[in-house]
Structure 1
Amino acid sequence: MRFYSPSQVAERTGFSMDTLRYYERIGLLGGVERTPGGRRAYSESDVSWLGMLRCLRDTGMPIAEMLRFTELTRAGDVTVPDRLAVLEAHDERIEEQMALLRERQAQIRRKIDHYRAAVTPAADGR
């Protein structure tokens, strides 16, 4: 089995080493192995789970909801319907955020067009 140092995991996941320690402390990441010298040694499974956490965090899932999802995952297959519900609700919120961003982008583009028209000389020389 391959293990990764905290700095390797930070580089692979984009999380800072402080965030990795924080996630371990609050229970988002559990059971990280230790070297004989006491240093953290992350497994492929840890790195994979951190990839999921990165996805959830980057899409705006609150830490409390990430913790709930983590607890459900650790509870085993019996919680698959609950995990599905958590992810579906999160996906719906993402879709709402994206729709709002598309509306805001359209407004910004209209303003860009307005400013471009203001700085572009008229074709008839006026």
Structure 2
Amino acid sequence: MTIAEVSRKFELTQDTLRYYERIGLIPEVNRNKSGIRDYNEEDLRWVEFIKCMRNAGLPIEVLIEYVTLFQQGNETIDARKEILKDQRAQLVQKIEDMKKTLERLDYKIERYENGEVAKDSILMKPEN
């Protein structure tokens, strides 16, 4: 696949794909005889993995560390697993924080829908 096709498929800019390749998040992509990037299935799996991890909020630096360890082979499995476990714990906390925010938004919307605008407060509904 060309970089334009991969860009469309994963909804990433071509600049982002080039950047990910330049900093080592995805392996160097093979090029055809004309020098145009030619993404293979393995490249696409890396792009999908990196996009998923970025969408989950993982920092570039953490992903670079993970990919570097991956390239070193199976002796780094424990270190890679620890990175993923740590990032998972952070993601769980973010989800909990977002749930609280969602509850607050729902409460505020409900108050507006019930005509309680005059009594509106910035405060969250008291917890029981």
Measured in 1, the distance between the counterparts of 2:50 and 2:89 equals 18
Map residues 111-126 of structure 1 onto 2, 5 A cutoff.
111-118=108-115
Could you tell me which runs of 5 or more consecutive residues in structure 2 were left unpaired when the two chains were aligned: 117-128
Deviation at 1:67, TM superposition (A): 0.3
Residue 93 of structure 1 corresponds to 90
Does the aligned pair in 2 maintain the 1:73–1:79 contact within 8 Å? Answer: yes
Deviation at 1:76, TM superposition (A): 0.8
Deviation at 1:27, TM superposition (A): 1.2
Residue 73 of structure 2 corresponds to 76
Match of 2:31 among 31, 34, 46: 34
- The CA deviation string for residues 32-51 of structure 1, in whole angstroms up to 9 with x for no partner, is 10111111111100000111
Please tell me the residue identity of whatever aligns with 2:62.
Answer: E
Give the TM-score normalised by structure 2: 0.87
Instruction: Flag the structure with higher strand content.
Output: 1
Instruction: Provide runs of 4+ in structure 1 moved above 2 Å.
Output: none
**Of the two structures, which has the highest relative contact order with CA contacts closer than 8 Å and spacing of 6 or more?**
1
Map residues 51-62 of structure 1 onto 2, 5 A cutoff.
51-62=48-59
SS in 2 for 1:60: coil
Please tell me the residue identity of whatever aligns with 1:25.
Answer: R
Deviation at 1:5, TM superposition (A): 0.7
SS in 1 for 2:57: coil
Residue 20 of structure 1 corresponds to 17
> Percent of pairs identical after alignment?
28
Residue 2 of structure 2 corresponds to 5
Does the aligned pair in 2 maintain the 1:13–1:47 contact within 8 Å? Answer: no
Please tell me the residue identity of whatever aligns with 1:72.
Answer: L
Give the TM-score normalised by structure 1: 0.88
Deviation at 1:83, TM superposition (A): 0.8
SS in 1 for 2:91: helix
Does the aligned pair in 2 maintain the 1:32–1:40 contact within 8 Å? Answer: yes
